[in-house]
Structure 1
Amino acid sequence: MSRTLQLAEQLISRPSVTPDDAGCQQILGERLAQLGFTLETIESGPADFRVTNLWAVRRPSAGQSAKPTRTLVFAGHTDVVPTGPVEQWTSHPFTPTHRDGKLYGRGACDMKTSVAAFVVSIEEFLQAEPDPQLTLALLLTSDEEGPGVDGTVIVCNALAARGEVVDYCIVGEPTAVERCGDMIKNGRRGTMSGKLTVKGVQGHIAYPHLAKNPVHSVAPALAELVALNTAGGWDAGNAYFQPTSWQISNFHSGTGASNVIPGSAVIDFNFRFSTESTPESLQQRVHAVLDAHQVEYTLAWTIGGLPFLTTPGELVTAVQGAIREETGIETELSTSGGTSDARFIAKICKQVVELGPVNASIHKIDEHIDVAEIETLKNIYVRTLKQLNAALAA
């Protein structure tokens, strides 16, 4: 059994459902401490939702620190989503199990294998380069799958406050489609939600002149907002991003009776937006449509994350080269999918990419990963470290 697989199984066996780290970070920290890393645990959140974060860093020796240096951070999470009905799993979700060349268990893909590969890749890199010019760091949280307010964002704020410079970051999110390395994320769309409350007047459905139906009032405005999704009405996107999309997620109105006009309607919606738009521009557009249709409303906004983009440069080049050398694949750069903690890291680091295993089974019953790809992922991380360090030494 490879060291990466062994460590991945050790982590999967810990039932670390958000926000419980279940001792994963202690296991990882002990191995990093043996490599000369300084460990800092940052806890955050209320007593009934206590989040554990780990910041581990290893700086160059005095002789190397006098030369040009860069900091590379591996970032990830030790928490996992709930298992769902345990009886529907073929094997217990927290008992690492092998079947048909695959490793099964909650977190096998998202993202305990990536975290294991982080640590083993650092071990192998330092064995080959005992005194590198790179500063190496690991940022782990137990609040990525939850609200995300006491996890990576807390660590990033602390690093920014103390003036810590982060040059490169690799986030271990599962990004591959069919084979490890076939896709990496070099950016993500922003996310912004709105809760729209439309005011009406409740009344008997037989006497509509004595009431005001909020569903009728808002319907033309909603139709116009939906139409903006076509033909790039919000924005046309760009070479890296799809056009911005607006989607209704929930619509609540009525008393449940068939003869009562509702007194209000509540609509939840969400934007996934590109770098061609800003929260302010999208908010102004929505308000303008509602106002033009004379809708009586209140609207509360929540910005979940801003879009970010890492254009091809030192990190993307190193990752692409490492994937090519290890697999022969010319990786695809993508900004598709949902959000990740990279949105917080991008605020303190200009070059951020996400690189991890195939994402087909994440969050599902019988989550799994191909065992053969575990070493592939670790080797890609090792090659990336070597390329970035060699570029500094050149």
Structure 2
Amino acid sequence: MNLTLSPEEEAFSASMRALLARECPTEVVRRVQADPTALPPALWRRLVDQSMFGLALPTSAGGDGATLLDLALFYREAGYALCPSAILNSIGFGVAVSLLADEATAKRVLAPLLAGELRATVALSAPDDASDCAPRVRATRGVGGWRLAGRLPYVADVAEADALLVPVDFGAAGIGVVCLPSGADGVDRRRLATQARQSQSHVLLSDVPLRDDDVIVPPNADAAAVLLRLRRASNALTALQTAEAVGGAERVLDRTVEHVLTRHQFGRPLGAFQAVAHHVADMRIAVQGARLTAWQAAWAVGRGELAEREVVIAALTCHQAFKQNTLTAHQLHGGMGYLRETDLHLWSERAKLLELRGGGREVLLRRLARELARARAERAAAHV
């Protein structure tokens, strides 16, 4: 496995960085924070034209057939520029559908997404334990067909989305996956106030009618097989989020380097002081280590593996690097780093958001412990 980027991959990353620098300055980030419906249409259209919504989708579904690692390169640039999460969630929706649905269903569902006409999000797992994709929505058979009920905590960008991807427990029929119109009758989206001012909601479903076309994965009595597919799709989205964290950590490092080279104290640049240089070196080391774990996770999931260990290690490493870099950056910026006008807080808020979205550190450590115990038991059984 070679995690060094090729010249073509470097050129792709550079082009995406330039595009996002033009179309997604911090003014846009602030505007979307204040009003989640204010997604810049120019940015959305440019990404549609650049095939970002279909980059890692199979050609059978109308996508470009690139790898998950290729898409992770875009997510790194999205984190660098703080691309609105609503865009990334819509792209992630496409990835999840392509991993869960059959070819015909995926092509039907993803056609409006590829055309830039669908804004969507996912609720495959809950932040309290992202390895647990057990359905939190239950379907019951009524006179007019299936009806859905349940509660989905902390769903990102659902209040402005057109569709929501969610696993459903169909009772004796098994487990399935549905693409639910987020504005359907019986769907109550309760907006939450968050530190990062991202649009998040508790979604309450009460007697929601289910149409045949809403079913992405029909109910399957083999619950273990469906849950395994759901876990792989969830891990793919987590791997992409780790790449986003890498981009954010890189941007904070670049801003900090620029600051310590141009800010003077006692007649010298801040960067000339050894203590400051050591802090910056630690930030750079953290970014380099995080980048390798993110690429490894995306590569492994993209090969068809569950990659539980790789994804959890990447999440632990990348979230810590992003968070620690923002804390160090605030320290090195001094008092001005805590002024909202400097924009540094925007990356600090995104760092905390990403850290919690896939489950906090304690949740990830429990996942890693379970995976290591499982691998140990398999090795022991192989030697019996």
State TM-score, norm by structure 2.
Answer: 0.27
**Higher percent of residues as strand:** 1
Q: Which has the larger radius of gyration?
A: 1
Q: Which has the higher helix share?
A: 2
Larger RCO, structures 1/2 (Cα 8 Å, 6+ apart):
1
